[in-house]
Structure 1
Amino acid sequence: MKYYVVDAFATRIFEGNPAGICILDRWISPEQMQQIATENNLSETAFAVKEDEDYRLRWFTPAAEIDLCGHATLATAFVLAQFYEPEAEQFVFRTLSGTLVVKRSEDRYELDFPSRIPEPIAISEDMIQALGVTPSEAYLSRDLMFVLENEEQVRNLTPDFSALKSLPDGLGVNVTARGNEVDFVSRSFFPKLQVNEDPVCGSAHCNFIPFWSQRLNKTEMVARQLSKRGGTLYCTAQGERVKIAGNAVLYAEADLKLDM
């Protein structure tokens, strides 16, 4: 099985978020896909099979399959463009979150994702203890989202991952604030999925983009994820959809030695 590792939302290797990508002729079992994702130990491994003119796409963390992943979708489109369909200008993926389209524009890839406006919730003492700071606002969609006072709080955050994992709500925990040199900054944590910090989380921006679009009164924004690796995302709010664009770089190409 051909296997690729791509750094997404990156312009050079060791930046952005690495994703494992497997382009298959036919589906293998969910158990095998989970084993591969666990062995890879990346935040996500994506599996794609061409069905008619489109691709069916699934994403797995080291712990479980998930319903939406931005960086691994971008990375899958990058692999298809580089190795399978170099003339294609867009790729259509059928996923657990519906139909997702990725368009190519020179060396940048633009994701068309659902907008997920988070709902405000009360801040609990458990949340404060887990984060190590008191957020100014708290929200819930698929993940918890906390608004912090400034970029420095986001950058310097050292949460208690065990405590984050114990919070009853949310699959992941995202923190965000206005940026100094970009429109907004963020970090993302998924200890419930055995990923303490996701270096660049595209799906989190399905929450961030509508939130900051309303807060900043802007539809086009530049965002930066402040993990150790870091990554830049070019964001557009379009009502019920959001556009998330970025670059990608190939890190590795390999053959997985599996009995198919």
Structure 2
Amino acid sequence: MQLDVFQVDAFSSKIFGGNPAAVCPLDVWLPDETLQLIAAENNLSETAYFVRSGEVFQLRWFTPAVEVDLCGHATLAAAWVLFNQLAEPTDLLRFSTRSGELGVRREGDRLFMDFPAKQPEEVDPPPGLLQALGLRCAEALYRTDDYVVVVEDEAIIADLQPDFAALAAFDVRGIVVTAPSHAFDFVSRWFGPRVGVNEDPVTGSAHTSLAPYWAHRLGKTVLSAEQGGVRKGQLICELLDNSRVIISGHGVLFMRGTIFI
């Protein structure tokens, strides 16, 4: 069997930026074991698969280790492939996912994803979390499906050198560290060794938690954001009144090929 595969740098308008995701269009679903093996072989933070079902596309995301409930950058990459490589004529795509129906629309060369917002709840730091991140203190700690660690200065984020083995012990999808920024409304880095991704350059799904926090703190509903360490990407988040967040960015094709299985 031969499968098309695309590698798209999401949340970037230039290759070698943003977050790379693999995208595999399918006619029918393959066994879950095969999907997981392909994702492990791709060795990217996410591989997205989609199957058309009438006017909707069924969409799933796999890290090299597990299937996940929501992934922003691989959703953007899948939409970019449909729009720019597979000539979908519509300007609005509908995806059926484990997190409900997600919409992606295009305006020019920018893609806008409609995701459910998550309200972070403040919690006490679990023993060892700050030490695993290499932090002595934090302004606050919140939890959704990730821990959200707030620090006072973006320079702290740039210097982070986490202990990934220690972070993998915490029973959350990942840990995001965030701070206010001079060039953007906020910046962040996201670590997910528990799901097989030590650091994800740009995690769209993490911004479903970050956007509500920063919108409340800054008193604004449209926010600019940058995520990443050595490799970075940029996003715009718009918090809506209906508990949804619009996350937008660019994509660029790095590679197109064929998988033989």
**Normalised by the size of structure 1, how large is the TM-score?**
0.97
Q: How does 1:9-28 map to 2 (within 5 A)?
A: 9-28=11-30
1:176 equivalent to 2:178? Answer yes
Structure 1 residue 86, shift from structure 2 partner: 4.0
Aligned pair count reads 257
Structure 1 residue 124, shift from structure 2 partner: 3.5
Secondary structure of the 1:12 match is coil
Contact (CA 8 Å) 1:200, 1:227: kept in 2 or not?
Answer: no
Counterpart in the other structure of 1:161: 164
Contact (CA 8 Å) 2:200, 2:228: kept in 1 or not?
Answer: no
Output the amino acid matched with 2:76.
L
Output the amino acid matched with 1:206.
T
Counterpart in the other structure of 2:138: 135
Contact (CA 8 Å) 1:154, 1:226: kept in 2 or not?
Answer: no
Unmatched runs of 5 consecutive residues or more in structure 1 = none
Counterpart in the other structure of 2:221: 219
Q: How does 1:37-116 map to 2 (within 5 A)?
A: 37-116=39-118
For 2:228 and 2:73, locate their aligned partners in 1 and report how far apart those are by CA, in whole Å. 15
Contact (CA 8 Å) 2:145, 2:172: kept in 1 or not?
Answer: yes
Superposition RMSD in Å:
0.9
Output the amino acid matched with 2:203.
C
For 2:151 and 2:160, locate their aligned partners in 1 and report how far apart those are by CA, in whole Å. 10
Percent of matched pairs sharing the same residue: 46
Secondary structure of the 1:87 match is coil
Output the amino acid matched with 1:188.
W
Q: How does 1:176-195 map to 2 (within 5 A)?
A: 176-195=178-197
For 1:95 and 1:124, locate their aligned partners in 2 and report how far apart those are by CA, in whole Å. 31
Structure 1 residue 111, shift from structure 2 partner: 0.5
Give 4+ residue runs of structure 1 displaced > 6 Å after superposition: none
Structure 1 residue 90, shift from structure 2 partner: 1.2
1:246 equivalent to 2:255? Answer no
Unmatched runs of 5 consecutive residues or more in structure 2 = none
Could you report, residue by residue, the CA deviation over 1:72-120 in whole angstroms, capped at 9, with x for unpaired residues?
Answer: 0000000000122342201100000000000001110000000001111
For 2:28 and 2:214, locate their aligned partners in 1 and report how far apart those are by CA, in whole Å. 41
1:236 equivalent to 2:238? Answer yes
Counterpart in the other structure of 2:148: 145
1:256 aligned residue (241, 256, 259)? 259
For 2:88 and 2:129, locate their aligned partners in 1 and report how far apart those are by CA, in whole Å. 47
1:204 equivalent to 2:206? Answer yes
For 1:173 and 1:47, locate their aligned partners in 2 and report how far apart those are by CA, in whole Å. 25
Contact (CA 8 Å) 2:21, 2:48: kept in 1 or not?
Answer: yes
